[in-house]
Amino acid sequence: MKLFRQRFVFTWIMAALAGLVTLPAGAIVISPTQDTTTLVNALLGGGGTGIVVTGVTLNGHHQTLAFGLDAQAQITSSGTYTNASGTYGIGSGIVLSTGGVAGLLVSGMAEPVIPGYGDGINTVENNTWAYGTTYPPAPDATGIPATAAQEALLDPITSRPDLDPPETYDHFDVTELVIDFDMQPGFDQVAFNVVFGTEEYPEWVDSEYIDGFGMFLNGTNIAFVDGAPVNVRHPGMTALTGTELDGILAPGGNPVLTFAGSVDPTGNTLRFIVADTSDGVLDATVYFSSLEGVPQIPLPPAAWLAITAVAACVPRLRRRLA
C-alpha cells in the first residue's frame, strides 16, 4: 500500500512540474495570513454577536522556498476567505489546512506550483505539501511532528478502535487556532459552521492515513457528526465538486456542518485543530464561518445562524434599492 501511495503522490508532482496543474478562479478567494486579529475578525464576520474575544493563539506553519536566484515561494497553513457565490453553502470566514491554503505561490509565475483550496473544479487528485521539506516534497515526507499535547487531542479523533488491538497514529503539519473569550449578557451558547475535506479520500479511507479535525470547547471535543468524530473514515464523506478537495464530509448531501455548545459567562476557550495522520502529504483542509453567540431563547443554533445571516444581508439590500 505504501509503495502505491508513493507512486500516486509522485505522479502528481511530475504533472505539476510539467505545468499541467492550474488553479481555477472562482467564488472562494483565499488570502493567506498568520495574523490572529485578521483571522478572528473574519471568523466573527465583522460582528461576533454575543462574543468578547480576550485572546488568540495560532499554532500554524509558514515556509519560504527559493526557486533560482530571484524567485521565491510562500506557503501558509492559515488564511481568510470570501465566498461570494456560496460554494459548499458556507459563508466567508477562515480556512486552516495541513498544507498551503493558497498553494505554493512563486514570484514571477502566473499560477501556483501547488494548487491551494480556492474555488473551482477538482483538477488534482492529491494536492499536497509537507512543511519543513524542499520542493518537490518526497512522497513519504512526514512534515512537522505534532507536539505531545496535540497528539493527546488528536488520538481519539483519528484512532482505529475497530482493529485488534486498537491503533493510534502519529500526526504531522498540525494547524491549531485557539480563541479565548467571554460572553455578553443574554448569551449562553456559541455556534458556527464548518466544511471539512481531505485529499486522502477515497483511496486511503481504510488505512492509517486518517486525517481529521476537532473543535474543543472548554476542553471537550464537540466535532461529532452522527455520533462519529470528523475524519476521512466518516461514512458521510463523499466526492463533492467545489474546490481541489477530493472528499468532503457531507451527511445527507449537506457539506455545511453546524456545531454548538454551552459556555460560561467568562473564561471560555475554543480550539480548532486539523492534522495529517501518519505522514505529512495528502492534506486536510477546513473552512470555518459565522462564530456567534446564541441567545437564551428557544431557537436551535442552526436557526439562529440562519436568522443572523439574513439580517446581515438587509443593509446591502437597502443600499441596492436606494
pLDDT at 7: 37
CB neighbour class for 225 (10 Å; exposed up to 12, middle 13-18, buried from 19)? middle
Overall average pLDDT of the 116-132 stretch: 89
pLDDT at 302: 67
pLDDT at 143: 95
Tell me the CB-side half-sphere exposure of residue 66, using CA atoms within 13 A: 3
Overall average pLDDT of the 76-104 stretch: 95
Overall average pLDDT of the 40-55 stretch: 88
CA–CA separation, 100 and 312 (whole Å): 30
Question: pLDDT digits over 4-36, tens only?
Answer: 354 344 444 444 433 333 333 448 999 999 999
> Which grid cell is 195?
466544511
Residue carrying the nine cell digits 486552516: 96
Contact assessment for residue 248 and residue 155, using Cβ atoms and an 8 Å cutoff: no
Residue carrying the nine cell digits 449578557: 185
pLDDT at 112: 76
Question: pLDDT digits over 53-69, tens only?
Answer: 999 999 999 999 888 77
Q: Is the pLDDT at 313 greater than 70, yes or no?
A: no
pLDDT category at 319 given cuts 50, 70, 90 is: very low
pLDDT at 183: 96
Spell out the residues 6+ positions from residue 63 whose beta carbon is closer than 8 angstroms to its own.
Answer: 74, 75, 76, 131, 132
Overall average pLDDT of the 112-133 stretch: 88
Question: pLDDT digits over 249-294, tens only?
Answer: 999 999 999 999 999 999 999 999 999 999 999 999 999 999 999 9
Question: pLDDT digits over 125-166, tens only?
Answer: 888 899 999 888 887 889 999 999 999 999 999 999 999 999
Q: What DSSP assignment string belongs to 92-141? A: SEEEEESS-TT-BEETT-SS-SB--S-EE----TT----TT-PSSPPTT-
CA–CA separation, 70 and 242 (whole Å): 34
pLDDT at 307: 59
Question: pLDDT digits over 184-226, tens only?
Answer: 999 999 999 999 999 999 999 999 999 999 999 999 999 999 9
What one-character DSSP code corresponds to residue 263? -
